[in-house]
Structure 1
Amino acid sequence: MTKLNVGLLFGGCSGEHEVSISSARSIAQALTAEPNAQKYKLLPFYIGKDGGWRSPEIAQQVLSSGTAISVFEEKPNRWQFPAEVSAVDVWFPMLHGPNGEDGTVQGLLKLMQVPFVGSEVLGSSAGMDKIAMKMVFAQAGLPQVNYVAVTRSQVWSNACVFPKLCDEIESQLGYPCFVKPANLGSSVGISKVRTRAELEAALDNAASYDRRIIVEAGVVAREIECAVLGNEQPKASVVGEITFQSDFYDYETKYTVGEAEWFIPADLPPSVASEIQERAIQAFMALDCAGLARVDFFYVESTGEVLINEINTLPGFTATSMYPQMWVTSGIPYPELVDQLIQLALARHTK
């Protein structure tokens, strides 16, 4: 049987570069172990923080060490790819954050006319931009927290405009609220605010990361997640819950061992779990996603409300990450999950 060359694309120009490497190492291990090794040949490609694509030889060095390469002797030619790119039969992009899961790389792979794992341009870009995402969710009738969309120009405006903006946020949302850059992942640039002074500082901080900002009302709720797998007829995993002692699920809590705890499956009434699974699929379909996504929810236990928070179209994919672990609990081992995602990419491309 002729093996398919799987182009594992990782690294990238984002603050989640190291997370991408960790995800790619787990995928590489799954592809080179049986039974996947009989079907696929791994061709890794590393995108450095300088934006240059590096050869499988260099990419394998990064996978083996688990460490990013920060300095290269040569300057990158972003218009030229390694020669081995032409041999790729199916791409497996595992790039987290901007310049990776926001539709930019997906558009490039689409132009290559080679199948690739995950959502295409629309689902990726809408899933990355929290404002566009919430507008789609609202149109689809998915309940969510109240929010206000803000632009950098409003924040960095004259002394007359900025106070009015803060007045509007206070009147519509109150405190506490969360200020977030619209197009970053891993909780980068997010602040929880309780006072006017904190709001002003948080808006200024978020504006330094992105020209689009979203401010969301705070809610006392349990944080629930659900994994989705498929194309036109996606299925939902069992649901999981994240608990933590910090003020909110920030970057440090996410990536510091022992700071957060997962429960899979979550201890929820069956009716609530089913509702979350249904809404996860609804969100997936509303954004025209494909392959995989993790959908995050708030469960307000005091009222029984289920509110959608966000969707992640390329979630963390280490063997211990929430997305694959929810599928392991649902009966799909990690290597089989990797295989299914490749087969879904091939099927979507054929159609």
Structure 2
Amino acid sequence: MKKLRVGLLFGGRSGEHEVSIVSASAIAKAILTNGNAQKYELLPFYIQKDGIWQGVEVSQQVLDSKQPLQTSADSDSLKANLWQFPPQVTEVDIWFPILHGPNGEDGTLQGLLSLMQVPFVGTGVLGSAVGMDKIAMKMAFSQAGLPQVKYMAISRSQVWSNPCVFPKLGDEIEANLGYPCFVKPANLGSSVGISKVRSRQELEVALDNAASYDRRIIVEAGVKAREVECAVLGNDYPQASVVGEITYNSDFYDYETKYTEGKADLFIPAKLSPEITAKVQEMAIQAFQAVDAAGLARVDFFYVEATGEVLINEINTLPGFTSTSMYPQLWAASGVPFAELVDRLIQAALERFQK
């Protein structure tokens, strides 16, 4: 039987470029394991930080080294090579994109892959865009009746407007949300640009910082809660994994804590009552369907133990596949080892494309 040629697409133009390389290395290894190697042929494609695509040979070197290529092209050279796809692109039977953050999981890449008329792993344009934009995501969750923390949506123009206007904005945030609160760019992943603030001075600095990353900003009320996560797998009839919990000593779950070994502890399964576990799993599937996700997603929650409330935090439609990543670990604890998980994701993409 002819092997399916899997185009593993990684790297990309985001702050999570290096994480993407590590995720791709793990997926490549899984594709080349015994059972999968009999069904699939790996064709890696690396997108440099400047957006230039590399062919299979150079891409494999990046996978092996787990280090990004240094880019030094001038503007004229960049323009000439930016959308020159390697010739092996035409050989791909199915794409496995694992680009985290903007230009990778926000619908832009998914639109390109859709135009190629080749199946791809993961959520389509709509779900990716909604899942990436925290404001649109929360609006979708609200429409689905999912409970959340209080939040305010703010634009860059409000932050960088006439200085006389800003005190009023600060007053509104303090009155509606109080302290501590979290200030986040709406369209960045992995805690990039996020600040925890406890005073007006910190709020002003955090809003200015977030505005430098994105024109859309979200401010969320802080909540004293346990942070639990659930993985989802499938298309029209998605399944939820066991529930895991994250604990850490840092002020919040920032980028360094998320991707540094030993900075955070994962408890899988989380020590929760059967009722709370079932509630988290049910809400994870509801969130998955609310944004029209497909294939895979990780859904994050706050469990307020004092009141028994479960509040949805966010959905990640293209979660990490590194050694510290929760998504593959949750499925491993649910009886789906890494190589099988990769296989099921590829098969789910084929099923969705055929329908």
TM-score (norm 2): 0.98
CA distance, structure 2, for counterparts of residue 298 and residue 331 of structure 1: 25
Alignment match, 2:172: 168
Q: 1:282 to 1:164 in 2, by over 3 A?
A: same
Q: Any residues of structure 2 matched to 1:159-308 within 5 Å, and which?
A: 159-308=163-312
* Amino acid across the alignment from 1:24: A
Alignment match, 1:83: 87
CA distance, structure 1, for counterparts of residue 133 and residue 207 of structure 2: 17
* Amino acid across the alignment from 1:315: P
Q: 1:160 to 1:72 in 2, by over 3 A?
A: closer
Contact 2:146 / 2:283 at 8 angstroms: preserved in 1? yes
SS in 2 for 1:143: coil
CA distance, structure 2, for counterparts of residue 171 and residue 320 of structure 1: 38
Residue 319 of structure 1: how far off its partner (Å): 4.5
Give the % identical residues.
73
Alignment match, 1:14: 14
Gaps of 5+ in 2: none
Alignment match, 1:34: 34
CA distance, structure 2, for counterparts of residue 321 and residue 212 of structure 1: 27
Choose which of 327, 341, 347 in structure 2 pairs with 1:323: 327
What is the aligned-residue RMSD (CA, Å)? Answer: 0.9
Residue 318 of structure 1: how far off its partner (Å): 2.2
Residue 141 of structure 1: how far off its partner (Å): 0.1
User: Bigger shift: 245-254 or 110-119?
Assistant: 245-254
Alignment match, 2:99: 95
* Amino acid across the alignment from 1:219: V
Contact 1:238 / 1:326 at 8 angstroms: preserved in 2? yes
* Amino acid across the alignment from 1:208: S
* Amino acid across the alignment from 2:252: F
Q: Summarize deviations over 1:92-148 as a string: whole Å, max 9, x none.
A: 000000000000000000000000000000000000000000000000000000000
CA distance, structure 1, for counterparts of residue 82 and residue 122 of structure 2: 23
Residue 256 of structure 1: how far off its partner (Å): 1.9
Alignment match, 1:4: 4
CA distance, structure 2, for counterparts of residue 320 and residue 35 of structure 1: 24
Gaps of 5+ in 1: none
Residue 44 of structure 1: how far off its partner (Å): 0.3
* Amino acid across the alignment from 2:62: V
Residue 72 of structure 1: how far off its partner (Å): 5.3
CA distance, structure 1, for counterparts of residue 232 and residue 330 of structure 2: 10
Contact 1:27 / 1:318 at 8 angstroms: preserved in 2? no
Alignment match, 1:58: 58
CA distance, structure 2, for counterparts of residue 319 and residue 308 of structure 1: 25
Instruction: Give the paired residue count.
Output: 351
Choose which of 312, 316, 330 in structure 2 pairs with 1:312: 316
* Amino acid across the alignment from 1:327: W
Residue 288 of structure 1: how far off its partner (Å): 0.6
SS in 2 for 1:35: helix
Residue 293 of structure 1: how far off its partner (Å): 0.1
TM-score (norm 1): 0.99
Q: 1:152 to 1:133 in 2, by over 3 A?
A: same
